[in-house]
């Protein structure tokens, strides 16, 4: 590739900075422009990441012929309007997860992305962690045997910090709270490992946050392939990131130090993956590939723009993850009654 792929950041909050650092660790991407409604945010982002120019409006950014693709990190409920504008302007789009806050918005985005013919990627990066890649290999090679149970948890303290000046406070902007912000990662991971989820039974509670959204959610997933999975997520505790698989030949236990989440090039070295075989009293460590989930997903997106890579997580995978979230919320409203995931996917009307 002769020249770096020129991308622009839209929405310049904390997560735009995490992605900017990931892009800079690679050799594929040049952050050539940026946009936020705040002039101060634009100037600070330019200075911090060496971005040569900033746009004073989204129209200005999208009219820049040098910009080949955009990185969208705006609030969930604004994804549809921003993404549709970007696609209509002929730009490839990477958006942070979730793809949208509603199934209907997700469907509109998926249809527009398909019609555009441009690369479209969604930031379900966690499946790229070394522990998950190793788990997938054990499943695909049969080393773990046949999986019967999976247990996943992603939690942190964000719900205790929310205030009314943050969009995550509001149920209409962030339905499910911790589930749509954190648990959605495991909704993707579990389907990456075990295939599509068929149904969800869930209970959600608002216990300690003062916001409108739940801070404790427990869900049981039934998979088309047969296994059962537990997905727990909360917003009222120190950070937790775990995934466990129980197979007929072995068990796998994965634990990541959440303090290193933002620095994905360090995450694998701060993680543990161990196995347990029959009659084994010591759980030996499992070799994991060293990954950099944020850099890798952005490099893949940029290379796809040049026709040199395929997008791993696009609209379909993102819609399936979001469907688990909305099925869980509906189940909780029905006092834990099982809710099928398929109709949630169909609600998007995009597949």
Q: For the chain, how far is it from start to end, CA to CA, in angstroms?
A: 33
Pair of tokens at residue 112: 């527009």
Which residues touch 114 (CB under 8 Å, ≥6 apart)? 315, 350
Separation of alpha carbons 211 and 171, rounded Å: 8
Residue 262 has what pLDDT?
Answer: 92
Pair of tokens at residue 196: 């599509």
pLDDT tens digit at each of 351 positions of the chain: 579 999 999 999 999 999 999 999 999 999 999 999 999 999 999 999 999 999 999 999 999 999 999 999 999 999 999 999 999 999 999 999 999 999 999 999 999 999 999 999 999 999 999 999 999 999 999 999 999 999 999 999 999 999 999 999 999 999 999 999 999 999 999 999 999 999 999 999 999 999 999 999 999 999 999 999 999 999 999 999 999 999 999 999 999 999 999 999 999 999 999 999 999 999 999 999 999 999 999 999 999 999 999 999 999 999 999 999 999 999 999 999 999 999 999 988 855
CA 338 to chain centroid, in Å, comes to 24
Residue 350 has what pLDDT?
Answer: 58
Domains and CATH numbers, the chain: 5-125+296-314 (3.40.50.720), 127-291+323-340 (3.30.360.10)
> How does 240-264 read in b/e, with b if 16+ C-beta sit within 10 Å?
bbbbbbbbeebbbbbbbebebbeeb
Q: Is 173:76 a contact under the CB 8 Å cutoff?
A: yes
Q: Is 36:307 a contact under the CB 8 Å cutoff?
A: no
Residue 351 has what pLDDT?
Answer: 55
Residue 349 has what pLDDT?
Answer: 84
Residue 322 has what pLDDT?
Answer: 98
Separation of alpha carbons 342 and 351, rounded Å: 11
Q: What pTM did the predictor assign?
A: 0.96
Which residues touch 116 (CB under 8 Å, ≥6 apart)? 87, 88, 90
Separation of alpha carbons 101 and 299, rounded Å: 26
């Amino acid at each position: 590739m002769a020249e770096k792929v020129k991308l622009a950041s839209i929405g310049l909050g904390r997560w735009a900075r995490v992605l900017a650092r990931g892009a800079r660790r690679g050799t594929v991407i040049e952050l050539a422009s940026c946009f936020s409604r705040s002039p101060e945010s634009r100037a600070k982002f330019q200075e911090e990441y060496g971005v040569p120019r900033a746009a004073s409006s989204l129209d200005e950014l999208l009219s820049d012929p040098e910009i080949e693709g955009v990185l969208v990190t705006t609030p969930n409920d604004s994804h549809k309007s921003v993404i549709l504008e970007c696609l209509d302007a002929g730009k490839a789009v990477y958006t942070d997860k979730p793809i949208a806050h509603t199934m209907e918005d997700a469907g509109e985005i998926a249809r527009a992305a398909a019609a555009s013919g441009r690369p479209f990627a969604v930031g379900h990066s966690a499946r790229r962690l070394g522990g998950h890649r190793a788990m997938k290999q054990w499943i695909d090679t049969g080393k773990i045997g046949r999986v019967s149970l999976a247990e996943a948890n992603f939690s942190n303290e964000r719900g205790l910090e929310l205030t009314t000046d943050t969009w995550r406070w509001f149920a209409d902007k962030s339905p499910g709270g911790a589930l749509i912000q954190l648990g959605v990662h495991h909704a993707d991971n579990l389907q990456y490992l075990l295939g599509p989820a068929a149904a969800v039974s869930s209970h959600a509670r608002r216990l300690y946050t003062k916001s409108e959204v739940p801070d404790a959610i427990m869900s049981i997933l039934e998979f088309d392939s047969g296994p059962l999975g537990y997905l727990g997520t909360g917003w009222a505790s120190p950070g937790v990131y775990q995934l466990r698989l129980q197979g007929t030949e072995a068990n796998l236990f994965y634990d990541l130090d959440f303090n290193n989440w933002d620095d994905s090039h360090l995450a694998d070295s701060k993680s543990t993956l161990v196995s347990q075989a029959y009659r084994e009293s010591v759980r030996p460590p499992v070799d994991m590939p060293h990954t950099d989930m944020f850099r890798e997903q952005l490099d893949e997106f940029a290379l796809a723009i040049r026709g040199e890579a395929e997008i791993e997580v696009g609209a379909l995978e993102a819609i399936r993850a979001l469907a688990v979230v909305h099925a869980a919320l509906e189940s909780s409203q029905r006092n834990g009654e099982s809710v099928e995931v398929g109709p949630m996917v169909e609600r998007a009307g995009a597949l």
